[in-house]
Amino acid sequence: MSAVVLYVLARMNVVTFWTTNDIYLFSKKSDAGYQVFQKYGCRDCHVVYGEGDYDGPDMDGEGTRRTADWLHRYFDNPGSLVPGTAHAGKFAPTFSKLSPKEKDELVDLLMSLKSLPGSPNYPKPPK
């Protein structure tokens, strides 16, 4: 197919062929975290590995936007970092059902999800 045809199809949103510049660092630790992510239905609201729903923020690139320390504190007490957080239990579940081990595994998963400049998930300057 010629470049011109591809360009026209892309403008019509028939094909998409840009790269997102998201990086996944797979390991035993990220596998364990992905099991936990699926077990608790996090994908009903969050995207990991390009799959899931967008009711909450995209988790691809989370390991570049946040630190492991931030994520640990978020899972222990989301309201202390994000006042009025959806994860206080009104819209999104609290993290009280997660064991300390499961929280560690989730942090390992999220820290393995990196992004590069050019990705829509790369950190944005503060508003």
In the complex, the residues that contact ligand HEC under the rule CB under 6 A are 40-42, 44-46, 55-57, 62, 65-66, 71, 74, 78, 82, 85-87, 91-93, 106
**Closer CB to ligand HEC, residue 45 or residue 115?**
45
How big is the chain by its Cα radius of gyration, in Å?
Answer: 17
At closest approach, how far in Å is the CB of 41 from ligand HEC?
5
Q: How far is the CB of 13 from ligand HEC (least distance, A)?
A: 26
DSSP string, the chain: --HHHHHHHHHTTS-------EEE---HHHHHHHHHHHHTTGGGT-EETTEE--SS---TTHHHHS-HHHHHHHHH-HHHHSTT-GGGTTSS--STTS-HHHHHHHHHHHHTEEE-TTSTTSPPPP-
Residue indicated by tokens 């009711």: 55
CB of 59 to ligand HEC, least distance (A): 7
> Min. distance of Cβ 117 from ligand HEC in angstroms?
18
C-beta closer to ligand HEC: residue 93 or 116:
93
Nearest residue (CB) to ligand HEC, 31 versus 55:
55
Of 20 and 40, the one with the shorter C-beta distance to ligand HEC is 40
